[in-house]
Amino acid sequence: MADDKGKSGGQDRTRIDVNQDYELRDWSKKFGVTPDELKAAVKVVGTNADAVERHLKGKAK
């Protein structure tokens, strides 16, 4: 689902849109990974930020 920049908060903060440069940059920084690593994680587990974070933390073990 694409960002609706007219709406703030809510579900939008729980999803990662790797097609938006600012989201790719910000989420990569938050998780401490490269943009390519973030894209790969989203491809595996989907756009849910919690699922991506769990996947990335599990990969580090």
The string of pLDDT tens digits covering residues 26-46 is 999 999 999 999 999 999 999
User: Tokens 């849109």 label which residue?
Assistant: 17
Residue 2 pLDDT grade (very low, low, confident, very high; cuts 50, 70, 90) = low
Whether residue 9 lies inside any domain: the answer is no
How far is the C-alpha of 2 from the C-alpha of 34, rounded, in Å?
Answer: 22
Q: What percent of the chain has pLDDT over 90?
A: 72
Residue 17's identity, in one-letter code, is: D
Give the chain's length: 61
- Check pLDDT > 70 for residue 52: yes
Evaluate whether residue 11 is within a structural domain. Answer: no
Name the pTM for this structure: 0.77
Domain-located, residue 27:
yes
Place 13 in a pLDDT band, splitting at 50, 70 and 90: confident
DSSP state of 18: T
Domain around 52: 17-60
Q: How far apart are CA 36 and CA 11, in angstroms?
A: 24
- Give dist(CA 17, CA 42) in Å, integer: 9
